[in-house]
Amino acid sequence: MLTARPAVPPRSEIAPEHTWNAESVFPDRAAWSDACDALRAQIPEITRYQGRLSESAGTLADWLELRADVGRRLRTVGFYAMMSQSVDNNDQAAAAMSSRAQTLNGEIQAALAFNQPEMLAMGQAKIDEWLAAEPRLAIYQHYFENLFRRADHVRSAEVEEVLGLVDDPFGSLRATAQFLTDADLVFTPAISTTEAQLPLAQSSVFKLLNSPDREVRRTAWEHYADGYLSIKNGLASNLAAAIKRDVFYARVRRYGSSLEAALSPHNISTEVFHNLIATFRKYLPTWHRYWALRRRILGVDTLHPYDIWAPLTDTEPEVPYRQAVEWIGEAMAPLGEEYVTALRRGALEERWVDIYPNQGKRQGAFSGGAPGTHPFIMVSYADDLKSMSTLAHEFGHSLHSYLTWQHQPVDYSRYSMFVAEVASNFNQALTRAYLLDQNTDPAFQIPLLEEAMTNFHRYFFIMPTLARFELETHERIERGQGLTAQDMIALMTELFSEAYGGEMDIDHDRVGITWAQFGHLYANFYVFQYATGISAAHALAGPILSGEAGAADRYLQFLRAGASLYPVDALKLAGVDMTTPEPVEAAFQTMTGYIDLLEQLARPLSQ
């Protein structure tokens, strides 16, 4: 018999050792406030360089060093505020800190606006001459190459100043969505077959969707969707404004589309996006096969969206946090002692991880920080395989940051989203392969394969579908069309109907509101990069798992490169070419292997 789960605890009841090490960044919030004041007070020093960058190679080097220092400190205060709010959206002081940090960012970006136009005006010949003459400038070779490549899209100092100033109000769009969904939105509890009420929150929804009780899953999924539907018009208006923001930026910077504006700064062709979508649609029958298999194993006449996360066996391995860290560390052994030692130290000693759910904690998980801080992680750990996989994913991000920050200057320390999702999915791929090899018991392997398919479902099914939604909504705004809540719901439902291929019952509005549940859509064309990331990750994991000489070293070089190379070139250094469809096709082959094994192991369950 199921009993009601205990309520999600308030933040005050979480043991300090299970929270992120905020005091390692600032001893207290007063010190954070002082750091903000110091940055704001430095704006006159920044603007004193305006008109002077062409004075000498030394002056330019001084400027770049100042800009890097200001940028690092700005990222630090911004992250501290964001993390403080993310772990407790009910903390009004933290919310005010986030707002203040966003405003400060806009002010400093406006002060820096003269920077790139002035360097471009100097001309590439003079810059090249100074790069050779001034040792402190040598590290900026790639930076200037990229700057002059983007010259047509860098505007005048006056326009750049305006673009810096609008960062603050435009930045509030995602914050508004987060407040509405993570703080203000209250969900009706899920109900079990015994009529027990189970608290439903952002930090507990996926645990409920994984319940063996179908009534718990159904009511959790429906009530979660209904919560978003109750504020659909406000969320749609907010997202439409964010899309208009993207179109505004693209047009001001003279790009042909929002998609081009998102990818061109990183020297990524739009064909990489379209290649992913075309390959995804080509291989949709692989997903249709999985939905049919899941229906047979569950023994239901009709598969519903809330059955996607249903456990296929009666046993769910319990994986406490420390066990997860141990397994992840063992799985990452091919990358060497430095990598594994840093991971274990961060997880168990230095408090990189904010571990457990609490009231007001934002949905999902992330890794963040800045050079000079730990690469922190926020999760809502639930002692199961999926939580372990999420932890592995976020440690992929964090160790990517850790190695980049150790080996690159500040200007190359912020790698692109395109490569970020490679490192995270790579860790999951190695951890999964290690556990499948170490434990051949079907009672363990079936839940592990379920975790794998849950991960592929999110990154290789939902995210490409959201990417198709994102492209169409941006193109509608670019054509001057309107965009309402019902427009978004209808489009989302149409795309998911194709993706499910007739193997899933479609609850029109509840499926269609999926767009509102992903704050990723507030980052211009981010979601498709989860799918390219999981593709590249599995392509890189294969040679390492097979023991190919040099494969692990190439991968570590990729992690250390940060933004010192263009993303596509960095991945080529590691051993994968994302300008071709092969990595995406290889990921589908990996997924097919998982489905084959699941079908074999679960055959007795479906007979």
Q: Which strands, in side-by-side order, build the sheet including 353-354?
A: 353-354, 376-378, 366-368
> Given a cut of 60, is residue 342 above it in pLDDT?
yes
pLDDT in tens, 434-479: 999 999 999 999 999 999 999 999 999 999 999 999 999 999 999 9
pLDDT for 5 equals 45
pLDDT for 202 equals 85
Query: From the candidates 118, 160, 222, 394, which is the catalytic residue?
Result: 394
pLDDT for 450 equals 94
Q: Could you give the CA distance from residue 322 to residue 317 in angstroms, rounded to a whole number?
A: 14
pLDDT in tens, 8-26: 899 999 999 999 999 999 9
For the CA atoms of the chain, what is the radius of gyration? 24
Query: pLDDT-based confidence at 4, cuts 50/70/90?
Result: very low
Q: Quick check: helix, strand or coil at residue 197?
A: strand
> Given a cut of 90, is residue 344 above it in pLDDT?
yes
pLDDT for 605 equals 61
Region 187-213 average pLDDT = 92
pLDDT for 171 equals 82
CATH of domain 11-165: 1.20.140.70
Residues in a beta bridge with 366? 378
- For a pLDDT cut of 90, what percent of the chain falls above it? 90
> Given a cut of 80, is residue 7 above it in pLDDT?
no
Instruction: Say if CB 283 and CB 290 are below 8 A apart.
Output: no
Q: Per CATH, is 190-230 categorized as 3.30.300?
A: no
pLDDT in tens, 554-592: 999 999 999 999 999 999 999 999 999 999 999 999 999
State the burial class of residue 302 (Cβ atoms within 10 Å of its Cβ: 0-12, 13-18, 19+).
exposed
503 among known catalytic residues: no
pLDDT in tens, 283-299: 999 999 999 999 999 99
Task: Tell which CATH classification among 2.130.10.30, 1.20.1440.230, 1.10.1060.10, 1.10.1370.20 matches the domain 263-312+388-607.
Answer: 1.10.1370.20
pLDDT for 2 equals 38
What are residue 310's phi and psi, to 5 degrees? -65, 135
Residues 6 or more apart whose Cβ sits within 8 Å of residue 89: 95, 178, 179, 182, 183, 360, 361, 362
Pick the residue with more confidence: 184 or 227? Answer: 227
pLDDT for 164 equals 84
Query: pLDDT-based confidence at 214, cuts 50/70/90?
Result: very high
> Given a cut of 60, is residue 1 above it in pLDDT?
no
The domain limits of the chain are 11-165, 190-230, 263-312+388-607
pLDDT for 169 equals 86
Query: pLDDT-based confidence at 363, cuts 50/70/90?
Result: confident
Residues in a beta bridge with 377? 353, 367
Pick the residue with more confidence: 2 or 63? Answer: 63
Mean pLDDT of the residues in the chain: 94
